[in-house]
A and B are shown apart, each in its own frame.
Chain A
Amino acid sequence: MYRYDEFDAAFVRERTAQFRDQVNRRLSGEINEDQFRPLRLMNGLYLQLHAYMFRIAIPYGTLRSKQLRKLAYLARTYDRGYGHFTTRTNIQFNWPKLRDIPDMMEHLNEVEMHAIQTSGNCIRNISTDQFAGAAADEIIDPRPVAEILRQWSSLHPEFSYLPRKFKIAMIGAPSDRAAIKFHDIGLKAVTNDAGEIGWEVWVGGGLGRTPMIAKLIRGYVAHTDLLAYCEAIVRVYNRYGRRDNKFKARIKILVHEAGIDKIREEVEAEFAQTKGGVLTLPQAELDRITTYFAAPDFERVNATQIDVLREKELDPAYGDWLERNLHSHRQPGYVSVTISLKPVGGAPGDATDEQMEAIANLAENYSFDELRVTHEQNLVLPHVRVSDLREVYDTLVENGLATGNAGLITDMIACPGLDFCSLANARSIPLAQEISRKFQDPQRQRDIGDLKIKISGCINACGHHHVGHIGILGVEKKGTELYQISVGGDGTEKAAIGDILGHGFVADDVPDAIERLVETYIARRESADEPFIAAYRRLGDAPFKEALYGAQ
């Protein structure tokens, strides 16, 4: 994992001092809220319905145990004993006081963390594959390049006031676990004809009011040129992105309106000027940063088969957990473990300070001190010895973290919704709780298989509803919350935006409606091996429409 050097440490300290000064100026009345708002937002501080919300960056979703312990400390000391992990792999606290924020930042600085650019119209936290550096299918670990991009984008003087926020995601494997096609820039590691690894660049994806799948803008960019190429894209966006309408200001609209060919032409012209210049990334620097992410000292153990069926016989809950929450590792004898933050009846993505402490201990003892945050609001122990699984599991059980539902219907994404968020039109969390209670039977969840439900409380789509196999969007209509259901979305390499099948439902009717969709799928699937999304693609929307609204 990356470690701050003196420069990085001084940088975040200066930023904290600057924010402390800004807070003091606000408290003394020297600046008003209109002037303060953009400053606090650029430091991750929102004002929500009930209180301030403080969002802390977790760069490319990577944490050390010491850092998670610090987050637990902040939850305990300045908040109400919990934190909420987000779809941008960040964490947010819902109850801090304004005057405490600079102190919280200082605590973060102590463990090489910050809240820079977790909001505002700038380049946001870069997200990537939660199994980076561990996954068996990976061709390159994207984190060194992600770290370099983090540095390049931190307080970038030209790109701090873009038309709108700007999000970059990266994936180093053919399986897209980072939803790169729904980002402003998506980077996918590829190999060129000469056998060198570089980046395929996608641009103009996004969710929100106008969901768009990214377009391929360049098939290959070498590591050396990546910063120059990204700068070219962001510069073209800064100059030509719309600023007349907040809802049309993302780069996806620019790409859509101008056309990818025109944008490519502009970016290439800009790239021709910047290529080979000061942003050229020398191999030596990439190598230097890469050493921070070197594989840990894995023990040389033989590949260990896990007999899930046998374990299921002995301890069904453990067996189920083994079946769902492990991901294959490149190192024989190791696996990556998903820690589900989606217990039945819980708030997706929430973890208490005690849970965070427990997970930090697990990371320290069983995963080379490393942790990941997933964009699906779970945590991951990336490098766990197969022989340690039982001990890890038992600790998770003790802390209420052993839900074996990764990728199942109860492993939902939900935004904070109208319970917390000042932008929301409808609540998300109570709906997620109801749906998880409806499908709480583990056996039933397994029968249903892979199924991603994603819930947003407003059109801004923080809950990624457009790419849920089943997506739920909360709207407000005549003083009541209504929920639109869409089907067929997919955030992976087979990117698709879900189809809205008809009118919305009141909250009480949503779990039943979901159940009807699920029953239709089970009745019509070719076999238990055909997942929901595949069946939907094969069958089309008609049977699902009928399930929701009856025969037409």
Chain B
Amino acid sequence: MEILTGNELMSGATVYLDRDGHWVEGLQQARVFLKEEAEARDAAIAATKKTMRINSLEIETVTLRDGVIHPDRIRERIRAEGPTAPRFDRQHLDKDGHVSI
């Protein structure tokens, strides 16, 4: 299973593509693409690139446990939460930071 993630242009904040085509802060809101949804995923990537507003666009593999999304890579877990040491809150989107496809 996969999700799409990237960094929003203005703030650089970590964002995820949700089920409604919005790029949002919450990992748990991310749309999970199943293996057979590769076409939809690629269409979402293409549409996102057109906005030119999401950088470092990546496909991340995740595991669903009790409906909770767990990214497979440590890197992604840290991206979702913010740095562990020194502990800081993650970057948030500004009001002009909302991107949709």
Contacts and interface: CB of A to CB of B under 8 A. Distances in A.
A439 interface: no
Contacts of A479: 72-74
A85 to B, nearest CB: 14
B11 A419 contact: no
A49 B85 contact: no
Name, among A49, A420, A424, A429, the residue most crowded by chain B CB atoms within 10 Å (CB to CB).
Answer: A49
A529 interface: no
A95 B12 CA distance: 8
Interface in B52-95: 52, 55-56, 72-75, 78-79, 82-86, 88, 90-91, 94
Interface in B5-55: 7, 9-14, 52, 55
Given A51-B11, A51-B13, A419 B74 contact: no
A97 B85 contact: no
Nearest to B51: A29
Contacts of B72: 479
Interface residues of A, number: 34
B84 A419 contact: yes
B28 to A, nearest CB: 18
Nearest to A426: B74
Contact of B84 (A29, A346, A430): A430
A350 B94 CA distance: 26
B88 A80 contact: yes
Given A33-B52, A418-B74, A422-B56, A50 B79 contact: yes
Nearest to A419: B83
A99 interface: yes
A32 interface: yes
B86 A29 contact: no
A95 B9 contact: no
Contacts of B10: 27, 97-99
Contacts, number: 76
Contacts of A110: none
A384 B81 CA distance: 44
A98 B9 contact: yes
B83 to A, nearest CB: 4
A50 B12 contact: yes
B52 A29 contact: yes
A27 B52 CA distance: 9
Nearest to A480: B74
B85 A427 contact: yes
Contacts of B55: 33, 47
Interface residues of B, number: 25
A51 B12 contact: yes
Interface in A430-455: 430, 433
B91 A51 contact: yes
Contact of A429 (B52, B73, B86, B91): B86
Q: Chain B's interface: helix, strand, loop or mixed, by majority?
A: loop
B91 A95 contact: yes
A418 B72 CA distance: 15
Name, among A32, A50, A422, A480, the residue most crowded by chain B CB atoms within 10 Å (CB to CB).
Answer: A50
A481 B14 CA distance: 22
A50 B90 contact: yes
Contacts of A47: 7, 12, 55-56
A52 interface: yes
Contacts of B94: 97
Nearest to B81: A50
Given A33-B55, A97-B94, A418-B74, A49 B79 contact: yes
Contacts of A424: 75
Nearest to A33: B55
A479 B9 CA distance: 29
A210 to B, nearest CB: 24
A26 B86 CA distance: 32
Contacts of B84: 419, 427, 430
B74 A98 contact: no
A337 to B, nearest CB: 25
B81 to A, nearest CB: 9
Interface in A22-64: 26-27, 29, 32-33, 47-52
Interface string A392-436: 000000000000000000000000001110101011011001000
Contacts of A420: 83
Contacts of A426: 74
A420 B72 CA distance: 18
Interface string A471-508: 00000100111000000000000000000000000000
A97 B88 contact: no
A476 B13 CA distance: 24
Interface of A: 26-27, 29, 32-33, 47-52, 80, 94-95, 97-99, 346-347, 350, 418-420, 422, 424, 426-427, 429-430, 433, 476, 479-481
Given A50-B91, A98-B9, A426-B74, 8 more contacts: A47-B7, A98-B11, A419-B83, A424-B75, A433-B85, A476-B73, A476-B74, A479-B74
Closest 5 CB pairs of A and B: A419-B83, A51-B12, A51-B91, A430-B85, A52-B12
13 contacts: A27-B9, A47-B56, A50-B79, A50-B83, A50-B88, A51-B13, A98-B9, A419-B78, A419-B83, A419-B84, A420-B83, A429-B86, A480-B74
